[in-house]
Structure 1
Amino acid sequence: MTGLPWDASYRDGPAPWDIDGPQPAIARVAAAGGITGAVLDVGCGSGENALYVASLGFSVLGVDVAETALARAGAKAAERGIEAEFAVADAFRLRSLGRCFDTVLDSGMFHTCADDERPGYVASLASVTEPGATLYVLCFSDIGPDTGPHPVSRDALAAAFAPGTGWSVVAIEEGRVLTRFHGEAGAPAWLATLERI
């Protein structure tokens, strides 16, 4: 997967999803004790979710294909005195990282996958986790007005992690994704909690 289109989103100004802070849904997961062990943030962008989780004392690796975004993430980490690691990686080939994680965050990556790409992405996530690991997917929902681009139905989200994928659906809850274009309330979203089995 080439990073050029994604990189351009950061070079040409703030990306629509770059909100200068963590997604509130991810912050709530952390506040509820939902983050454990080593953490992977897939499609981390400029790093706000990763930096927030790292500021809580967790070991975090943020990966993306957009090198401009990763450079910004690294600069933010240095400015804020937060220890976090950022690296270029293809979300469809996470096994190449050669590491395993206890918690995986996907804030805005899943809904960018076409239907036929989802099985490969879900398998890639499984390749860097072991049974008992937790995955959180925050993606645009197709419910309600003012949906974000590429909205996903609840059924499609659940189907992507169906039996046989290495994952079990713990919960899929309604939520919001903040963007630069959806006002203070953000866009309709799903927050899925998945367990590696």
Structure 2
Amino acid sequence: MPERSKSPADDPFGGRKPTSHERMTGLSWDASYHDGPAPWDIERPQPAIVRLASEGAFAGAVLDAGCGTGENALHLAALGLPVLGVDVAETALTIAREKAGDRGVQVEFAAADALRLDRLGRGFGTVLDCGLFHTFDGDERSRYVRSLASVTERGGTLYVLCFSDQGPGTGPHPVGREELGAAFAPGGGWSVVAVEPDRVRTRYHDDGAPAWLATIRRI
């Protein structure tokens, strides 16, 4: 009897190894978007990212790593910046593209594994990580940092907005300030410019959860 060809439903992870977050929840990232907005999808850009953009923090080509349904990428693109948003969740990317069409915003969205950004074959002056770094465990984190290094131009800037371990009401996978410093060490080609307290809005945190906003330079 001939072997049945595999469909996407047979492998919800698209041929890649599930991340620690996916193994913990038992769901692929894509499945998070199947029954309405995901917990982190507030259907508007994160206030911290809006503030950064208003301060002129984004320059050159911009990569939004783990863009979800695209609100941050769309906000930056609407300001006239060339933006590529990438994610492994095809459902989220479909929603992002529909938003772009409805709003008349010129922005690019593509499926890509954040742990293999080198496959993009491109470089960016500014890279944004809004809520992705904190989902990775130790081994994944080192791979992710190397992946970011492969696409962040020398002298370029990486912004990381992640859950903090400081204060009440912390989100899942909280990160310590020292963990950011250890991950983005000079030996890996990075210089941590600043790590400031901030907030991450979610569907379960009306006033946001404690967060770190890290400004990191590629050296």
TM-score bin, normalised by smaller chain: over 0.9
- From 24, 31, 37, give the equivalent of 1:14: 37
**1:115 corresponds to:** 138
**2:215 corresponds to:** 193
Are residue 81 (structure 1) and residue 104 (structure 2) matched?
yes
Q: TM-score, normalised by structure 2?
A: 0.88
Distance in 1 of aligned mates of 2:98 and 2:196:
34
Alignment of 1:74-153 (within 5 A): 74-153=97-176
Distance in 1 of aligned mates of 2:166 and 2:152:
30
**2:92 corresponds to:** 69
Distance in 2 of aligned mates of 1:132 and 1:17:
30
Q: C-alpha deviations, 1:121-162, integer Å up to 9, x for none? A: 011001012211000000000001110000000011111001
Q: C-alpha deviations, 1:152-197, integer Å up to 9, x for none? A: 00011111001211110000000000000012x1000000000000
| Aligned AA (2:186) | P
**2:9 corresponds to:** none
| Aligned AA (1:69) | A
Over the residues paired in the alignment, what is the CA RMSD in angstroms?
Answer: 1.0
**2:205 corresponds to:** 182
- From 64, 71, 74, give the equivalent of 1:41: 64
Aligned length: 196
**SS class of match (2:198):** strand
Structure 1 runs not aligned, ≥5 long: none
**SS class of match (1:99):** coil
| Aligned AA (1:168) | S
| Aligned AA (2:216) | L
| Aligned AA (1:148) | G
| Aligned AA (2:71) | E
- By how many angstroms is 1:10 displaced? 0.5
Structure number with larger C-alpha Rg = 2
**1:5 corresponds to:** 28
Contact 2:152 2:158 in 1 (8 A): no
- By how many angstroms is 1:119 displaced? 1.1
Distance in 2 of aligned mates of 1:165 and 1:21:
33
| Aligned AA (2:214) | A
| Aligned AA (1:142) | D
Distance in 2 of aligned mates of 1:16 and 1:59:
28
Q: TM-score, normalised by structure 1?
A: 0.97
**SS class of match (2:158):** strand
- By how many angstroms is 1:117 displaced? 1.3
| Aligned AA (1:99) | R
Distance in 2 of aligned mates of 1:151 and 1:196:
24
**SS class of match (1:186):** strand
Structure 2 runs not aligned, ≥5 long: 1-15
Q: C-alpha deviations, 1:36-79, integer Å up to 9, x for none? A: 01000000000000000000000000000000000000000000
